[in-house]
Structure 1
Amino acid sequence: MTEGELRQAIAFGREQRGVEFKGPGKRTDRAFQAKVIRAILGMANKPGGGVVVIGVDDDGAALQPTGLSTDELSTWSSYDDLATSVSTYADPYVDFDIATVEMDGKSFVAIEVTQFKELPVICKRDYQATLGEGGAARSCGGVRATGKRDEKMVLRNGALYVRRRGKNETIEVPSHVEMREVLRHAAEFVARDMVASHVLLEGHVQGTERTDQVSEKRFDAEVEDLV
């Protein structure tokens, strides 16, 4: 993502299906990182992939390009560290690139996520974020009652996260519409692989036949010379 693309995305005024904003935060903050990973999984299952931008606050009414502090930015500098964290929750792996984007003297992190190649990306591990001490016991909206504190399930083992149509947000697949979209793209990848394999096999067979024909002609010629 370039500075111009970031500026344009912010000027749009809200999240788009292929662009999700996260406020400033550190990768070493496990709860914050889990939310970023959730967004990455959703983008990986979206046709064409998408971008997760860190450093832009979204209060639902307006976007605020806050940017990251030097300390926060330093925690996102290692691709390997983030890739290791993502692989802990993603199955299969997710392809992405991470870059720092400078705009108006502020720093942002852009994570560009590639759509899955063969199989949809499934979350393979739970992550629960503590909401606070002394919360009232309840169980709704992904919140688990503990008696002492409430924990929200940010990442759920076995969940398929997608970017919702209409209201742009990353959630577990909500309906047959999003599920059909994911399955259709998975089927397209399988079909392409089958066609490519058929073309390669056909070329190999034709090449083998040509080689056999040449060998047969050479054998016949050598036999004639001997006779």
Structure 2
Amino acid sequence: MPNGTDLQLYIQRGKEERYLEYKRSMTWTGNDTTKVKIAKAMMAMANLNNGGVIVVGMQEPTRGVWVPEVMTPQQIASFTQDDVAQWVNDYATPAVQFSIEAFPLNGNQFVIIQVQEFDAAPVICRKQKITGGENLEAGVIYYRSNRKIESAPISTDEDLRELISLAVDKGTSKQVSRLRSLGLIPTETTNQRDTQQYETERGGL
């Protein structure tokens, strides 16, 4: 997961990326529309390789340019791990794995939500939530495409292949580890790793 230096760079970047989303200062216990927006982003990031980061406490005075804005102590305190997990994972299956922390920088406080990539199977929205301005749809896989930086239902062949490939790689890796733990296939030796690294480096020449 990102360290303190990484988090500082995420805040200072000021531009949303596939793995990085900004949100205005808010109270988690406020209206459901903002909860839906964050939940959708968390589900989408959980389906990315290496997950993603949501920074709460930013504003967009110019389109595409984000800068810090003040978060009150009450807003910061409203983001608890248990409350956010209970709400988000009531809609996500399997559960989204994440951590929340308050992060100080240059006199401001931010809420940082670090989302982990899925463990074995992609995250799916399991039930509908309709609000005034933003909805969650049952049976939808939310994703963040390279084509457009947003959390939206997966819709292109390219994105679907990328997600399937990630899931297959995870399954293969777990199966190999399981077979090694049972002694059914040999453990990779240092010499084998060195040889593989050498061949990889040669291939890049």
TM range, normalised to the smaller chain? Answer: 0.7 to 0.9
Is 1:71 aligned to 2:74, yes or no? yes
1:116-147 Cα distance to aligned partner (Å, 9 max, x none): 0100000012122214xxxxxxxxxxxxxxxx
Question: Which residue pairs with 1:36 in the alignment?
Answer: 38
> In 2, Cα distance between the equivalents of 1:4 and 1:201?
40
> In 2, Cα distance between the equivalents of 1:68 and 1:53?
12
1:80-121 Cα distance to aligned partner (Å, 9 max, x none): 111111110110011111100111211110010110010000
Within the candidate set 170, 181, 191, 1:200 is matched to 181
> In 1, Cα distance between the equivalents of 2:181 and 2:11?
46
Within the candidate set 140, 160, 175, 2:156 is matched to 175
Runs of 5+ consecutive residues of structure 2 not aligned to the other structure: 186-205
User: How many correspondences in the alignment?
Assistant: 182
Q: What secondary structure sits across from 1:21 in the alignment? A: strand
> In 1, Cα distance between the equivalents of 2:125 and 2:141?
6
> In 2, Cα distance between the equivalents of 1:122 and 1:181?
16
Q: How does 1:83-98 map to 2 (within 5 A)?
A: 83-98=85-100
Counterpart of 1:13 in structure 2: which amino acid? G
> In 2, Cα distance between the equivalents of 1:63 and 1:190?
38
Asked if the contact 2:55–2:112 (Cα under 8 Å) also holds between the matched residues in 1, the reply is: yes
Per the normalisation by structure 1, the TM-score is 0.74
Q: What secondary structure sits across from 1:130 in the alignment? A: coil
Question: Which residue pairs with 1:112 in the alignment?
Answer: 114
Q: What secondary structure sits across from 1:118 in the alignment? A: coil
Asked if the contact 2:70–2:109 (Cα under 8 Å) also holds between the matched residues in 1, the reply is: yes
Runs of 5+ consecutive residues of structure 1 not aligned to the other structure: 132-151, 205-227
CA displacement at 1:32 relative to structure 2: 1.0
Q: What secondary structure sits across from 1:28 in the alignment? A: coil
> In 1, Cα distance between the equivalents of 2:155 and 2:58?
26
> In 2, Cα distance between the equivalents of 1:3 and 1:63?
20
> In 2, Cα distance between the equivalents of 1:198 and 1:7?
41
Counterpart of 1:196 in structure 2: which amino acid? S
Per the normalisation by structure 2, the TM-score is 0.82
Q: What secondary structure sits across from 1:97 in the alignment? A: strand
CA displacement at 1:156 relative to structure 2: 0.9
Q: Which protein has the larger Cα radius of gyration, Structure 1 or Structure 2?
A: 1
Asked if the contact 2:96–2:116 (Cα under 8 Å) also holds between the matched residues in 1, the reply is: yes
The one of the two structures with greater contact order (alpha-carbon pairs below 8 A, sep at least 6) is 2
Q: What secondary structure sits across from 1:109 in the alignment? A: strand
- Structure 1 residues 10 and 200, CA, compared in 2 at 3 Å: closer, same or farther? closer
Asked if the contact 1:26–1:33 (Cα under 8 Å) also holds between the matched residues in 2, the reply is: no
Q: What secondary structure sits across from 1:202 in the alignment? A: coil
1:29-78 Cα distance to aligned partner (Å, 9 max, x none): 222111111111011001111111111123523212113112211111x2
Counterpart of 1:14 in structure 2: which amino acid? K
Supply the RMSD in Å over aligned alpha carbons.
1.9
CA displacement at 1:187 relative to structure 2: 0.5
> In 1, Cα distance between the equivalents of 2:6 and 2:177?
35
CA displacement at 1:203 relative to structure 2: 5.1
- Structure 1 residues 8 and 197, CA, compared in 2 at 3 Å: closer, same or farther? closer
